[in-house]
Amino acid sequence: MKTIEEINAIKEKMQKVLNTRESQGENDIRIVVGMATCGIAAGARPVLNAFVEEAARRNLKNVKVTQSGCLGMCKYEPMAQVYVPGKEVITYVRLNEEMARKIIAEHIVNGNVVAGYTLDLE
C-alpha cells in the first residue's frame, strides 16, 4: 500500500502530464505527433510519450503535445509537426525518443530548428 505522500507525488506528476496534453491558448506552442497505424507501427507512441514527459519535466506550460491521424507521408514515420505562433510549421521525420527530447531542448526551449531531423523533399 502506498503512503499519502507517495500518492500525492504520483498525482502531481500526472497533473503535469495532463496539463501538457490539455487544450491550448492562442500563444501556445503545439507539437502534433502522427498516430495513425503507420506511425504507431513505426514507433510513434514512445516518441509521443517522450515529448509529453520532457515538456512536463521542464515544466513548459505553453507547450501542448497532441496527436493526429495520418500526416500523409507514411515512409517518414514517426513524424511530428511543431507549430510556433507566427512561424512556419516545422515537420520532423523518422523520430525516436532521444530525438524528441532534443527537439524540446533545441527547438522549443532555445528556438533553434533541429535541421538534421526535418523533412527535406529536395
Map out the domains of the chain with their CATH numbers: 4-117 (3.40.30.10)
CA distance 57 to 94: 23
Give me 116's grid cell: 538534421
Q: pTM (2 decimals)? A: 0.79
pLDDT at 99: 98
CA distance 64 to 20: 5
> Could you read off the pLDDT tens digit of each residue along the chain, which spans 122 residues?
678 787 777 767 666 655 555 555 678 999 999 999 999 999 999 999 999 999 999 999 899 999 999 888 999 999 999 999 999 999 999 999 999 999 999 999 999 999 899 987 54
Buried residues in 75-86 as b, exposed as e (16+ CB within 10 A): ebbbbbbbbbee
Q: What is the 3-state secondary structure (H, E, C) of 44-88?
A: HHHHHHHHHHHHHHCCCCCEEEEEECCCCCHHHCCCEEEECCCCC
pLDDT at 3: 83
CA distance 110 to 38: 31
Distance in Å from the first CA to the final CA of the chain: 57
